[in-house]
Structure 1
Amino acid sequence: MAADLHPLAPHHLPAFITAPGETDVLMVVSAVILLLAVLGIGLIFLRLHTLPERMAHKSQKLQFEIVAVLGLLALFTHVHLFWVAGLLLALIDIPDFSGLFGRMAHALERIAGMAPRQPATADDAATAEPATAAAAGDPTTPHRTESEHA
């Protein structure tokens, strides 16, 4: 390259200056590093953005769905308050009141002597089988007499 230099050009050119028609290695390396950096930062951002959903995944289905919706709202609207609300909701363990109220309702039905209601799911059917057997007069289940109710 020294033979083709202009007489006014410096005799010692830096290593990153390439001759015309050759591949610019520094530009290619810089482009690859920039592409990897953008992809890496984007993956870190999305991983951080889904943190509330991953935390709420072990909780109840309704709580998980609310956190997921808040995460999507935060992603598409760029309102960070939705993400903070989703994170706080994921951190809070909401007690399962539905199971407690269902047990209280079944107990009150038994006390009142009413026929138990039909279970909605297969899990409820397994817990309701002894109550239906008692209501049907199954001799293998213990019954309370009228004197025991008082």
Structure 2
Amino acid sequence: MAPHHLPFYLAPGSGTDVLMVVMGIFLIGTVLWVGTLYWKLHSLPERMAHKSQKLQFEIVAVLGIISLFTHMHIFWVAGLLLAMIDLPDFGTPLRSIAGSVERIADAAPGEGREPELPSLPPVEKPIVKGKEHSHV
């Protein structure tokens, strides 16, 4: 067969295989694209939890890292569910309570206290002997 009758995808005897080079570049590009897509999907819970509280974000991030290293998808699902839930803010009211208690504790002695009542002598209780109980 003459070389001019050969299909385009067959490499000539003295040249480079163009189809193999194109497919190699396509394969490398596809692997990088799929890796980027996987990385974006893996970081989805962390990006969702970034807008929430610091503690919730840290827990979601730790669950994401655990799922990345253990290849157990349940941690990723747990992180995604935790990122979707808005946890109530317990920190702000507790900080307010702690600040109020600290101000009360730092108050000068005698301020806001009730006057002490005079002490009464102790009252003696009469000694009562134990009674027998009948089960009649």
Please give the TM-score of this superposition, normalised by the length of structure 1.
Answer: 0.65
Aligned to 1:24: 17
Structure 1 vs Structure 2 CA RMSD: 2.4
Cross-structure match for 2:84: 91
What's the offset of the Cα at 1:20?
Answer: 1.4
Q: Deviations over 1:90-111 (max 9, x none)?
A: 111112212112223444556x
> Which structure 2 residues correspond to residues 50-69 of structure 1 after superposition, within 5 A?
50-69=43-62
Q: Identity rate of aligned residues, in percent?
A: 58
Aligned residues: 111
Per the alignment, residue 114 of structure 1 pairs with 105
Q: Can you give the 5+ residue segments of structure 2 that lack an aligned partner in the other structure? A: 114-136
Q: Point out the structure with max Rg over C-alpha.
A: 2
What is the letter of the counterpart of residue 50 of structure 2? H
The answer on 1:75 being equivalent to 2:75 is: no
Which structure has more helix as a fraction of its residues? 1
Gaps of 5+ in 1: 6-10, 116-134, 137-144
Q: Which moved more, 1:89-98 or 1:28-37?
A: 89-98
Equivalent in the alignment of 1:46: 39
Q: In structure 1, give the amino acid aligned to 2:43.
A: T
Tell me the amino acid that sits aligned with residue 91 of structure 2. S
Which runs of 4 or more aligned residues in structure 1 lie more than 3 Å from their structure 2 counterparts after TM superposition? Answer: 105-110
Distance in 2 of aligned mates of 1:102 and 1:17: 75
Larger relative contact order (C-alpha < 8 A, sep ≥ 6)? 2
> Greater CA deviation, 14-23 or 44-53?
14-23
Q: Which amino acid aligns with 1:96?
A: D
